[in-house]
C-alpha cells in the first residue's frame, strides 16, 4: 500500500508563532524543545508531523541503534566508543532527523528499553532491547497529549532530558546510552494541566487557537479538502515553499556559530527575568539562546532587541511565578520598558 503524503508544513494556515518555534528547534536542537498548547483541531499534531519533511540530513554511525554522531566522540554510545578506543573504523551514513512518537499509553519498559536479566546472570552478557528513548537520540521525541502521560514515564523523561542519558537498571545490572533529544509536546489545556517539573523542561511554549477570520477559516477548509482529494498533487504544489524553508534552516545552522552574544544581550535578558520574577535561571539562558537562533534565522550575526522580545514571548510565560490556578501571563509593558531603557543607554 502506497504511503500517504504528509500534509505540508508550509500549507498550514496561520499559527505563525507555533511554526516559528518548531523551525527554531530544527536550527538549534539545544533550545530544549517546545510545548504547543491549544484547543482541539488547531493543527498542533499536523505541524509536528509535517516537520519531518523539512529535516536536513546529518552524519550518523551506520547500524548504530542510537544514531551516534561520528564527529562527536564525547556523545558516543558504549559500543561505538569501544570501537573508537580499539582503533576500529565504523561505517558512516547520512540520514535525516526523525520525529519519534511516544504514545501516551507507553509503558516504562517500552520507553527506556528492557534488559534480559536471565542472559546477564547465566552468560554474563548484557542483552538490551532498545526503547523509544534509544530511537529518539539526536531526533525529535513527540508526545501528543503530553499532559496525560503516566507519572512514572514523566519521571523517566525528566531524567533523560536533564542528563542526556538513559540508564536502565534491573537486579543490579545496568546499561546506559545517549538520549540527547528535542522534546516536542502537544496538549489541550481543557484535558488537564502539566506537572511544573515537566513544563519547565520545555525550552519554549506557544499557545494556539483556531482562526477567527472568515477568509482564514475558509482557506483552512479549502486546503484540507484539496489535500484529501489528491495528497500527492497537493504536496507537490507546496514543494517550492518547503524547499525555501529547508534552505533557510540550512543557512541558519551555518550562521548560528557566528552569532555574537554580547554582554548587553545577556544583561538585558537577566533584567527581564528578574523583573518578571521567573523561576530559576533556565528562562534567562533559553531566552538568550533563542534570540541568537532568531538572529541566525534572519541571516544576521548580531542579536537585536526585536530578537530578544520574540524570544521572551516563547521562553518566559510558562516559567513565570504564579499562585495556584493562576495562569502565567507575560506583561509586555515591562519587557518593552526594559528594552527601551537599554536602547536609550546604548
Provide the grid cell at 48: 509536528
Q: For residue range 262-290, list pLDDT tens digits in order.
A: 999 999 989 888 888 887 788 889 999 99
Burial string for 215-250 (b: 16+ CB within 10 Å, else e) reads eeeeebeebbeebeeebeebbeebeeebeebbebbe
For residue 306, give the H/E element and its range: helix 305-315
**Cα-atom radius of gyration of the chain, to the nearest Å?**
22
When mean pLDDT is compared across 12-16, 225-229, 294-298, 337-341, the lowest value belongs to 337-341
For residue 50, give the H/E element and its range: helix 44-50
With 0.95 as the threshold, say if the pTM is over it.
no
Q: For residue range 185-197, list pLDDT tens digits in order.
A: 888 888 878 777 7
Q: Which of 304, 282, 280, 281 is nearest to 294 (CA)?
A: 304
SS3 content of the chain, % helix, strand, coil (to 5): 50, 15, 30
Q: Is 282 a catalytic residue?
A: yes
- The residue annotated as part of the active site, out of 282, 300, 309, 321, is 282
Q: What value does the mean pLDDT of the chain take?
A: 83
Residues 6+ apart with CB under 8 A from 230: none
Measured from the Cβ of residue 38, the count of other Cβ atoms closer than 10 Å reads 20
Angle 107-113-114 from CA coordinates, rounded to 5°: 100
Q: State the pLDDT confidence band at 65, using cuts at 50, 70 and 90.
A: confident
Amino acid at each position: 500500500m502506497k504511503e500517504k503524503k504528509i500534509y505540508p508544513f508550509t500549507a498550514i494556515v496561520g499559527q505563525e508563532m507555533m511554526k516559528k518555534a518548531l523551525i527554531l528547534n530544527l536550527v538549534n536542537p539545544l533550545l530544549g524543545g517546545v510545548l504547543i498548547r491549544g484547543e482541539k483541531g488547531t493543527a498542533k499534531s499536523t505541524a509536528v508531523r509535517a516537520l519531518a519533511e523539512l529535516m536536513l540530513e546529518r552524519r550518523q554511525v551506520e547500524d548504530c541503534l542510537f544514531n551516534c554522531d561520528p564527529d562527536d566522540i564525547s556523545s558516543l554510545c558504549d559500543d561505538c566508543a569501544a570501537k573508537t578506543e580499539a582503533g576500529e573504523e565504523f561505517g558512516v551514513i547520512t540520514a535525516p532527523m526523525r520525529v519519534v512518537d511516544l504514545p501516551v499509553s507507553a509503558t516504562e519498559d517500552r520507553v527506556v528499553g528492557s534488559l534480559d536479566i536471565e542472559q546477564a546472570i547465566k552468560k554474563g552478557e548484557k542483552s538490551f532491547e532498545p526503547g523509544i528513548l534509544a530511537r529518539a537520540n539526536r531526533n525529535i521525541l513527540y508526545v501528543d497529549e503530553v499532559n496525560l502521560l503516566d507519572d512514572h514515564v514523566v519521571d523517566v523523561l525528566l531524567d533523560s532530558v536533564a542528563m542526556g542519558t538513559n540508564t536502565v537498571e534491573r537486579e543490579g545490572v545496568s546499561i546506559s546510552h545517549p538520549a540527547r533529544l528535542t522534546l516536542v509536546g502537544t496538549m489541550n489545556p481543557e484535558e488537564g494541566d502539566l506537572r511544573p517539573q515537566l513544563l519547565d523542561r520545555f525550552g519554549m511554549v506557544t499557545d494556539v487557537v483556531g482562526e477567527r477570520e472568515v477568509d482564514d477559516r475558509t482557506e483552512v477548509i479549502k486546503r484540507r479538502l484539496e489535500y484529501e482529494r489528491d495528497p500527492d498533487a497537493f504536496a507537490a504544489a507546496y514543494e517550492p515553499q518547503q524547499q525555501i524553508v529547508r534552505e533557510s534552516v540550512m543557512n541558519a545552522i551555518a550562521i548560528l556559530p557566528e552569532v555574537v552574544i554580547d554582554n548587553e544581550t545577556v544583561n538585558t535578558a537577566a533584567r527581564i527575568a528578574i523583573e518578571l520574577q521567573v523561576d530559576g535561571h533556565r528562562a534567562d539562558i533559553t531566552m538568550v539562546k533563542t534570540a541568537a537562533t532568531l538572529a541566525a534565522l534572519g541571516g544576521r550575526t548580531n542579536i537585536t532587541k526585536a530578537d530578544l522580545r520574540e524570544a521572551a514571548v516563547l521562553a518566559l510565560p510558562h516559567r513565570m511565578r504564579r499562585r495556584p490556578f493562576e495562569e502565567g501571563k507575560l506583561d509586555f509593558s515591562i519587557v518593552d520598558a526594559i528594552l527601551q531603557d537599554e536602547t536609550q543607554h546604548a
